[in-house]
Amino acid sequence: MSGGFLPWILLIPLSVLPMQSVPDDDAGLDATSENSLPEPIFKTDEGRKTFEQGKELFEQRDWRGAGKAFTAARRDTVDRESRSRLEPWEDACKGGKSLDRAAGDLVRKKYRKCWSAVEGLVKKYGDTPLRTSIDELHDEVYPILFLDLAKFEKEPVETEQAARRALPEDRTRITKDPDRIFEGKSALEWRSGGGQGFAGFNFGRLPLASIENVVMEDYRWLRISIHSEDDNFGKFTLFFGRDEIGPNQAWAATGGIRGLLRRDCYYHHLTIKKKGWTHLRIDLVKELSKNESISWSDLQSLYLFTVPPSHPKRLTIDALKLEVP
C-alpha cells in the first residue's frame, strides 16, 4: 500500500455508524450425505445387496472392503447413468486413508497438519459421501485453531452481536448469494462511498467485532476474506480501538482524530487490488502498527474503515476470525 495513505487515515474519525458479520456453520461445510445421492439401478437383487453391503462397510470405515463392494456392484448396474451414481462412493473410499491419517494427527495434537488435510479432503472429496466424516473431523479441529469474530450468519456469534446492531442500515445487508459467500450460508455486503464528513473529508466505517472479552495474546493471525467487484477498490484500515462499539460519537471533543489514532489504537492498512476474493492472513505481531503506551487488554473493538471512492462501490466481507500460533 502506498506511503501516502497514513496522512489521510490520520484525519479520519473513529465514530461508529449503526450496522451487522462467518466459517460457520463453522467453515461453511455443506455435507454430501448418503440420502442426497441418487440411487443406482441394478440388474439383479445380488447387485443391490452388494451395494448395500458396501455402504455398511463404508460406515465402518472399512474403505478397502467398501471399495471392492462398490466396484462389484457397478458391474451389475443397468446403464451408464447408474454406473456414474456409484462413482462418488468409489471416490470416497479412495480418500478414506487420508481421512484416517488426519484423524490420527488430531489425536497426536498435530492440529495444523490435521487442518491442512481437512482442507485438502474438502477440495478433493467434498462432493462424495466422505464429506460427512470430513465435516465431523473439521468440527473437532476448527475450534482448536480458530476463534470466529464474525460469521455474518442469521445468528451472530457473541463477539459480533454489538457490531451487528450498529451496522449502517442504508449501506449494509446480509447476502445469501452463493457467488458472494466464502464460508457458511451468508456474508456481509458493504456499499462504500460518501459517508459523514469530518475536517473536510468523507469516510466509511464498518464495525466488525467486540474484542474486550477476547484474550488476544492467545492468537497470532487475523483472517478476513473480502470480495470486490472492482480491480482497484481502494485502501482500507483495520482498526483496533479502545472504545466500545456503539452510536456515533463526537471525536473532535476528545483531542482530535489525529491524536486519537496515534494514541489509542492498533491498526493495519490494506489495499484491494483485484476483482473477486482476497483472503488476508494478517500477522498481529509483525504486521500490526501498535501504540507502545497501550496493550491488547485496553482494546475493545475492531472496525474496517476507509476514505471512500468518489462513486459508491460494493464489497463483501466474510470469515473474520483469529488463528492461534
CATH number at residue 169: 2.60.120.260
- 13 and 95 co-located in one domain: no
314 and 229 Cβ atoms separated by less than 8 Å: yes
- 141 and 225 co-located in one domain: no
**Residue 113 pLDDT:** 97
- Residue-by-residue pLDDT tens, the chain, 325 positions: 333 333 333 333 333 333 333 333 444 444 455 556 789 999 999 999 999 999 999 999 999 999 999 999 999 999 999 999 999 999 999 999 999 999 999 999 999 999 999 999 999 999 999 999 999 999 999 999 999 999 999 999 999 999 999 988 888 899 999 989 999 999 999 887 654 433 444 556 789 999 999 999 999 999 999 998 877 667 888 989 888 887 554 444 444 445 555 567 899 998 888 889 999 999 999 999 988 889 999 999 999 877 655 566 788 999 999 999 9
- 125 and 162 co-located in one domain: no
Does residue 28 lie within any of the structural domains? no
Distances (CA, A) of 316 to 203, 220, 267, 272, 281: 18, 24, 21, 12, 17
- 76 and 211 co-located in one domain: no
Does residue 211 lie within any of the structural domains? yes
Backbone angles phi, psi at 317, to 5 degrees: -115, 140
Dist. CA 27–CA 150, nearest whole Å: 12
Domain edge (last residue) among 88, 113, 146:
146
- 9 and 42 co-located in one domain: no
Burial code of 68-104, b = ≥16 C-beta within 10 A, e = fewer?
bbbeebbebbeeeebeebbebbbbbbebbebbeebbe
- 84 and 161 co-located in one domain: no
**Residue 293 pLDDT:** 87
Instruction: Give Cβ neighbours of residue 170 (< 8 Å, ≥ 6 apart).
Output: none
Dist. CA 208–CA 221, nearest whole Å: 16
Domain edge (last residue) among 127, 146, 165:
146
- 319 and 179 co-located in one domain: yes
- 135 and 155 co-located in one domain: no
126 and 134 Cβ atoms separated by less than 8 Å: yes
Does residue 126 lie within any of the structural domains? yes
**Domain housing 174:** 5-22+151-323
Do you know the residue count of the chain? 325
Residue in the block written with cell 462501490: 313
**Residue 26 pLDDT:** 41
Domain edge (last residue) among 146, 163, 187:
146
- 204 and 265 co-located in one domain: yes
162 and 302 Cβ atoms separated by less than 8 Å: no
- 117 and 181 co-located in one domain: no
Does residue 142 lie within any of the structural domains? yes
- 168 and 141 co-located in one domain: no
Does residue 259 lie within any of the structural domains? yes
- 114 and 162 co-located in one domain: no
Does residue 131 lie within any of the structural domains? yes
**Residue 24 pLDDT:** 39
Domain count, the chain: 2
